[in-house]
Structures are given as structure tokens and as C-alpha cells.
Amino acid sequence: MAYPSCQFKVRTVTAFVALSPSDFREEEEEQSAVTLLRGVEKKIQTCARVLSEVKGAIEQNGYEVQTVRIAFNPFGEWLVHSSNDGVDRRLERLELVDDLLSKYDIQFCSLGPAAKVDEVQFCENIIECSPRMSCSAMVRDGDVEMTHACAALIKRISKLESKSFLKGGLGNFRFCTASCCSPFIPFFPGAKGDGSFPGVKFAIGLENGHLAKELLSKAKTISNIPTIFREGFTAAILPLTDICSKTKFSSSTDEDAFVEYIGCDTSLNPSLEDDGSVAAAIEELKEVSTFGSVGSVAAAAAITTSLQNVPIKRTGYCGLMLPVLEDIRLSELAASTPSNLRISQLLSISNVCGVGVDTVPIPGDCNDRDLSSLILDVAGVAHRWNKSLTCRVFPTGVVNAETQFDSPYMCNSRVFNIS
């Protein structure tokens, strides 16, 4: 029997598929005028079918599935600059992908990361093209040139106003820098596939702040996290992961229809509902009077160790998600006077968990150098400990001003001082 569905939800079922430039060629059946589906459409169609069948199997067992998503391998591998005729086809191919996502009712798609500085600028085109599309940029330890390019891009995205889904700086919700991020993370915008595999892989990510609060209130102390918390978490999600691993798929003649379940991202991930905050859940422990104060790092370390040792098939971050504008308690702490939360605290906690510096509002006129240095800090921590970390920030307003985001996915808080 599944654990009571009110305790957690499936935030995403994410399918991963690899594209190549050849997937965009039109094929014609021999001795026929009938045009076959392009490779890119075949693959998106197959992903849509897989996602629909997984979603159906999960929902039949009483769980709520919030979104289904597709993530591609890095866009530089398939969204190539020019074809044989020397014409830049990237925007044309981008629009084709968006049309296909719409056709097959896929509302969320990650085009993978920019791997080089000269690819970073094109991320702006991706964000501006469609509200369905997300992307990221790979940042290595000490890569100052890449961080400068990303800092400039983040500020440009914050000023995009050409379409309604971009107004108010919401474009930054769909871009992050990513350091040491492995393939097959189901959460966006850092999700990416791997161009070396055939077929479709899929993974799940959770929204589980309610479950975290219940289990940590039972644990009461950090010393009980390896037992009470870990055992309770395992019991809760094991039925769900069994469903995913045993899902049977309808037959298909597509050569790329091989499907593999690669695991669950066990990360604690908040919701905006009452009692959905991960930060508030951690405050149930007697060692943590206020999240961010002494005891928080120890709690985050113990929780992350437990999440990374849950005896199921795992993928992704498998850590602690602390998105300021997606966690009501974090937003409250940041908005308090004086503030009880700083970027340095979030980065310090990232040393022992994940996911990095996420959905943090910073001044709209922040210095490019300071923003670049923040990205470098995140990359430095990620590479020092070989852990997947991202940096997703929102340039807006001035320090200590209240944010004015109008999004069902975020709450509002205050603008952080970046320095």
C-alpha cells in the first residue's frame, strides 16, 4: 500500500533523450511521397508516450503527479550553428522543437547546458523563445571567463520584456549555472541527458516538505536522523519507486523506444503549502532553534547522508533543496528585520548538502563582478567536494526591498545583499 499521498507528491516525471543534428533532417520513404516523422519528432513523441504511461501508473496508485518533463543532452551537440549551406539554423530548430512540445503537450523541457562561452549567449534565445524551455550553463572551478559571460546573461534575462511570460524578471526562473551536475537530474533548470545512450530514460523528483516535517518531528534530534528519519523516508517512497520500476510500456516499433527507469531523486523539496517548508521541518529538531543558526549545518549533513543512503535506485541531487522563493519559511527568515538569512549561510550549508544558491533575489543593479564571484564560489564548492550545485538568482529591485514576483511557483521575500 502506498504511503498516504498527502505526505508527498511527485513533482516531476522527467524523461531523458539524446538528440543529434541528423534528427532534424526530413526523411522520405523510398518510392513514396509520404514524409516520415523527423527523428526529433519521433523522439519527443516516444518521450510523451512514456511520460503518459508512467504518470498513469503512478496516479492509479493514489499519488499526485504535478508535471511531466523532457530533458535533452547539451544543446551544443545538436542545435548546431550552421548546416551545409552555411545558414544558421538554430532559431529555426528551436521553434520546431517548441512546436513539437506543444503538439505532444509537454509544458517543461530542458535543452541542457551551454558547455562553452560562445554558447552562453544563445541561452537568451532559448529563454525568450518559449515558456516551456529551460537551460543552464556549465561552470568549472576557476573559469572566470565563463562566470563573467553567465553573470552578464543573467542580468540580460532579468530585463527581457518582449513577451508576457518574461515580464517581471520571470525568465531567470528557467536558467541557472551548473557545476559538477551529472546527467539525469530530474529537477530543472539543471536537468540534462547524456548523448551516449539509446532510447529513453526516466526519473522522478518529489515535493515532500510535509513528509520531512512529519519525520523530523518524530526524530526530534539529529542523532535519530540515521534511524527514524531514514527508515520512515524509505518506507514512504519505496512503494512509489516500485511502481516506476515495474511499469510496463506499450509496444512500439521505434528503434529508440528502449525505456529505462533510472531512479528517484530523494532530495527534500519544499512546497508553498502550509507545512510544506523544508526549513521549517528542520526547525523541528531540538538542535536547530532557527534555520540558518548553529545546528543547521549538522542537521543538513545528517539529512543528506540519510537521503543518499536510502536503499532504492537513486539519481540526481539527493540532497537538501533550499530555494528561498519556493520555501515560505526561508522567505520569512530572509524578510525579517534584521534578516536571519544571508547568501553566505546558504552557500555554507551547500558544503554538506545541495542544491546550491537557488531562487535568491539580488539587486537589479548588482555589480557584474560580484555576481560572477558568487557563481565562482558555487563552482568552487561543487568541485572541491565533487557535488552537483547550481546557482539561480533573480536580479530585481534594491537591497532589502520586497520582491514583486507574480508567479504560482514562487512566494515573495526581500532582495539579498550579494556582497
**Neighbour-count burial of 365, counting CB atoms closer than 10 A to its CB (0-12 exposed, 13-18 middle, 19+ buried):** exposed
Cβ(215)–Cβ(288) below 8 Å = no
Residue 35: the pLDDT is 47
Closest CA to 6 of 65, 68, 66, 64: 64
Model-level pTM? 0.94
Cβ(347)–Cβ(378) below 8 Å = yes
d(CA 88, CA 96): 14
Closest CA to 272 of 151, 87, 412: 412
Structural domain boundaries of the chain? 1-250+257-324
Residue 1: the pLDDT is 37
Fold of 1-250+257-324: Anaerobic Ribonucleotide-triphosphate Reductase Large Chain (3.20.70)
Q: Give 334's contacts (C-beta < 8 A, 6+ positions apart).
A: 324, 340, 341, 413, 414, 416
Q: How far is CA 57 from CA 96, 122, 249, 283, in A?
A: 30, 38, 10, 35
Give DSSP secondary structure letters for 338-366. Answer: S-S--HHHHHHHHTTS--EEEEEEE-TT-
Mean pLDDT for back-to-back runs of 10 residues, the chain (419 residues): 64 97 70 61 95 97 97 94 69 95 98 97 97 98 98 98 94 98 97 90 98 98 98 97 91 64 98 96 98 96 97 96 97 92 94 91 96 98 96 97 94 94
Closest CA to 73 of 204, 198, 187, 183: 183
d(CA 83, CA 282): 53
d(CA 162, CA 160): 6
Residue 283: the pLDDT is 98
d(CA 318, CA 83): 40
d(CA 265, CA 185): 7
d(CA 358, CA 341): 13
